[in-house]
Structure 1
Amino acid sequence: METLEPLSVFGDEVESVSVVEGHKVTLNSGLTEMKDDDVIQWRFLDYLSQLFGYEYTLISEINVTAASMSVYEDVLDGRFRNRLKLDNQTGSLTITNIRTEHAGRYELQTKSVRKCFKITVFDMKSVSVKEGDSVTLNSGLTEIMDDDEIQWRFGNENTLIAEINKRTDNITVYEDVLDGRFRDRLKLNKQTGSLTITNTRITNFGVYKLYSNYIKAIMFFLNVHTRLPVPVISSNSSQCSSSSSSSSSSCSLVCSVFNVSHVTLSWYKGNSLLSSISVSDLSISLSLPLEVEYQDKNTYSCVLNNPISNQTQHLDISQLCHTCSDSVHCYGSTEAVIRLVLSALVGVATVILLVYDIRSRRAEQDQAHIHTPGI
């Protein structure tokens, strides 16, 4: 094994890499192919070893001249066993099924190239909150260490939004970043470092990262749900059924909601799910049809839900589904109004004609009395 001098712990150029626990990550050597006389070595230094000034540990190497490729899986208590893969063309290193004990610094060294990578392994957690409510992202700490530094970062840009420096006893909240979307909404717990977001908005949706010197990094995916509207049930039929027997016909219904996201719309018969439709897009409308018999006595309901809340609308079949054998519901609402207005008009016209006839008769009688000679 050829010995190459390792990089210092605090190398000038360090490439930061973030990965969720359980996933895999590839550290690219930057080479398209190795030279014939090249030797590639990968070394690792975890955070605790770094704090105590320990040296890097060799975990894999390729000797092109000797045509050998070695992976040292048993070092460091076997934490890399069955997890390391070397690319025999480029020398890039892949770590599979990564865990928090694999977080730290990785050094790549060849005869011509030196690179250093800092891997942060996140414990991924998902949190949901209703818009307007408060939510706390828990650090998991009971108390911050005296020389620790807690940082909270947000979004793909990894924007620093809050931090605690225990050494200087400073707490800072950066409320004006990202167009002020966090203004007057962030609270840091001085003892635990947990972050609370009050009066949440849709713009607070996204990824929050917690960094600490002593605990594993945590990545929170915060989903902010809008308040759900009540579903609307309506009839698809423009008129009532002409059949007097409900067993030979059915009523077409539809349940609808508007401007929703990340929800599921469902029809239930009692407690049994009949059908459902889900959407993850933003501001979309949903409709779900249902066919029922005209005199069905079962209980039906349309339910709109997301992971934290739901809205239910119960179906009243007698209101939306009826046959023409029922004289009360034989006509549509528009036709019923027209008939009622026409009936009123006919009644008014009849009264007018009757009054006119009475007045005409009295006028004729008065005229006859004037032209009759007195006795």
Structure 2
Amino acid sequence: MSSHLCALILFVLCGVFGDTDLMKSVSVTEGDSVTLNTDVTEVQRDDQILWMFGPKETRIVEIYKHIIDMFNSNEIFGDRLQMDSFTGSLTIRNIRRTDSGLYKRQIRSNRGSSDKTFSVTVYDSVQFCGSTEAVIRLVVSALVGVAAVAAAVYDFRSGRAQ
């Protein structure tokens, strides 16, 4: 197995299990805060950044012309939502399990538009992941480590043989 093949395998694994530009998975423990970033360095006056939640894409907060509108988000989140007026990022404080779901961010401006969805999973504060999931993570991590060591040894030995 050449080092190129190992690199290809790692690249494919990262592609299969990684986030995409359009969807980002976020895991958070109940009671913590989470910030969903817009990837905007500074909101311009004509930028409209809209955050929506749930399968019905309920509007929860928006910034447009530097004015923040919280819509009726207090009904769902109380006073736990905060929008950064500089970047448009959304922070959910004291997150609850009922806050799990899809959060959609839309940016509209004279420079173009972009959408991004965040899949937020809130875990119970007592049990972050199940024992089965922990074992699977451990086994996969060990296999990746063994594969990396085997590839390094093979590459080293094949280099000495020449």
Deviations 1:237-294 (A, max 9, x none): xxxxxxxxxxxxxxxxxxxxxxxxx8331xxxxxxxxxxx35xxxxxxxxxxxxxxxx
Matched, 1:171 2:37: no
Indicate if the aligned counterparts of 1:137 and 1:195 stay in contact, CA closer than 8 A: yes
Task: Give the structure with the higher percent helix.
Answer: 2
**1:122-133 superposed matches below 5 A:** 123-133=22-32
Change (3 A) 1:141 1:205: same
Match of 2:120 in 1: 222
Indicate if the aligned counterparts of 1:156 and 1:207 stay in contact, CA closer than 8 A: yes
**1:347-358 superposed matches below 5 A:** none
Indicate if the aligned counterparts of 1:133 and 1:198 stay in contact, CA closer than 8 A: yes
Match of 1:114 in 2: none
Task: Give 1:204's aligned amino acid.
Answer: D
SS in 1 for 2:61: strand
Structure with larger Rg: 1
Task: Give 2:92's aligned amino acid.
Answer: I
Q: In structure 1, list runs of 5 or more residues that go unmatched.
A: 1-121, 230-261, 266-276, 279-302, 307-375
Name the Cα RMSD after superposition.
2.4
Match of 1:156 in 2: 55
Deviations 1:321-371 (A, max 9, x none): xxxxxxxxxxxxxxxxxxxxxxxxxxxxxxxxxxxxxxxxxxxxxxxxxxx
Match of 1:263 in 2: 129
Matched, 1:192 2:49: no
2:35 aligned to which of 136, 139, 148: 136
SS in 2 for 1:212: strand
TM-score when normalising by structure 1: 0.28
Matched, 1:202 2:107: no
Identity of counterpart residues, as a percentage?
Answer: 40
1:147 aligned to which of 4, 29, 46: 46
Indicate if the aligned counterparts of 1:263 and 1:304 stay in contact, CA closer than 8 A: no
**1:33-182 superposed matches below 5 A:** 123-166=22-65, 169-176=66-73, 180-182=75-77
**1:305-320 superposed matches below 5 A:** none
Task: Give 1:174's aligned amino acid.
Answer: F
Displacement over 3 Å in runs of 4+: 303-306
Indicate if the aligned counterparts of 2:123 and 2:129 stay in contact, CA closer than 8 A: no
Whole-Å Cα distance in 1 between the matches of residues 95 and 72 of structure 2? 14
- Ranked by relative contact order (alpha carbons within 8 Å, sequence separation 6 or more), the top structure is 2
Whole-Å Cα distance in 2 between the matches of residues 223 and 139 of structure 1? 18
| Count of residue pairs the alignment pairs up | 114
TM-score when normalising by structure 2: 0.63
SS in 1 for 2:98: helix
